[in-house]
Amino acid sequence: MAQYQQSLDAKATIAVAGATGDLGTRLIHGFLDVDLRGGSAGLIALVRKESDKTQEWEKQGVEVRTIDGSSSQQDLVGALDGVDVLVNALPTSGAALRDNIARALPKTALKVYFPSEFGVDHRLHDFNIPEWDGKRAHYDLVQKTLRENNNFGIIVCRLFVGLFLHSGISAAYGFDTAKSVYEAVGSLDQIMNYTDTSDVAKVVVDLSTRVVRGMKIPQDLRIAGTHASFRDIASIMGKAGAENVELRSVDLQEFRERALARKYEDRDAVECLRFIMGDGRDDYRDVKEGGLGNDNVMVNGDERVFKWKTLEDLAVESQGRPNADP
């Protein structure tokens, strides 16, 4: 009975690799916020070097450990000592470290590994670019390494969250909020999925807690925080202060052909995301609503764990002009 209660109360110790990056920093802040409500047993930031930022985290109870591309397997295993859950938030430029971490996994006591996905569901893509090929190659390496070491104890969980809410409504994605001109690739009425990183943090903590309490979680999850089309977003931002948003659209097929006509190594993920936003592969609404479907019922059905941050919330806090300042 005492053991049963202990497992009901168990919480995960979570480490973040690439903690000083954009996603990593936002996740650390998200985890600290969830921790105020008793989220995790411990929080570890894996960084290349200490800084004012990491010192500030230490004051808030985060343990900071250093690793980099030159860390040996033994160093990496040591850095993961006592960790239940590793969230990899390294970008493609950190691919060597990302893969060295994969090779060290069988020697750790990790229960869950979240590879550095946190974007669109590239299992659906019918083209190749370095960014998503790199993510796929890393995932294959993780699976192969665990198989070869007979380590089937670690759950590898890929979270596909669509575009980040904090950065997705910006000029790079066709929303020139400073000039009030939005340009869709394809239809202005195609729905797109956004998830805020604070909600990603909540999902990670919840899934991690389930695993340390002995429950199973799926290996691939599509997370749908909030959704809208270009036309909807113009209206939402207009109500919050954006003035006379001009809506334009360009031909999807021409845009896609131009993006993929580049040499393989020059194919850019953000440029490709613009036609993915237009062709429906970032539409994670329920299938019965016409989308690709999502796993929200499993992670946060009826918002029983938390309330998703919406485009309306973003509009209010940015007065209708998110990312308008350079």
Ligand X SMILES: NC(=O)c1ccc[n+]([C@@H]2O[C@H](COP(=O)([O-])OP(=O)(O)OC[C@H]3O[C@@H](n4cnc5c(N)ncnc54)[C@H](OP(=O)(O)O)[C@@H]3O)[C@@H](O)[C@H]2O)c1
Binding footprint of ligand X on the chain (CB under 6 A)? 18, 20-24, 48-49, 68-69, 89-91, 93-94, 97, 116, 118-119, 161, 163-164, 167-168
List residues bridging with 87 in a β-sheet. 16, 114
Residue 212 or 274 with smaller CB distance to ligand X:
274
Residue 48 or 103 with smaller CB distance to ligand X:
48
Using CB atoms within 10 A of its CB, is residue 89 exposed (0-12), middle (13-18) or buried (19+)? buried
Strands 85-88 and 112-114: parallel
Residue 48 or 213 with smaller CB distance to ligand X:
48
In the complex, the smallest distance separating the C-beta of residue 118 from ligand X, rounded to whole angstroms, is 4
Residue 49 or 288 with smaller CB distance to ligand X:
49
Report the C-alpha gap between 31 and 25 in whole angstroms: 10
**Residue whose entry in the numeric block shows the structure tokens 């090929």:** 133
In the complex, the smallest distance separating the C-beta of residue 172 from ligand X, rounded to whole angstroms, is 10
Residue 89 or 154 with smaller CB distance to ligand X:
89
Report the C-alpha gap between 44 and 87 in whole angstroms: 10
Report the C-alpha gap between 174 and 185 in whole angstroms: 8
In the complex, the smallest distance separating the C-beta of residue 119 from ligand X, rounded to whole angstroms, is 4
H or E stretch including 255?
helix 252-260
Report the C-alpha gap between 91 and 270 in whole angstroms: 14
Residue 238 or 280 with smaller CB distance to ligand X:
280
Report the C-alpha gap between 136 and 142 in whole angstroms: 10
In the complex, the smallest distance separating the C-beta of residue 94 from ligand X, rounded to whole angstroms, is 3
Residue 118 or 284 with smaller CB distance to ligand X:
118
What are the respective helix, strand and coil percentages of the chain, to the nearest 5?
A: 45, 15, 40
> 314 near 306, Cβ under 8 Å?
no
Nearest residue to ligand X, by Cβ distance, number only: 21
Extract the tokens encoding 24: 């990593």
In the complex, the smallest distance separating the C-beta of residue 53 from ligand X, rounded to whole angstroms, is 9
In the complex, the smallest distance separating the C-beta of residue 113 from ligand X, rounded to whole angstroms, is 14
In the complex, the smallest distance separating the C-beta of residue 68 from ligand X, rounded to whole angstroms, is 6
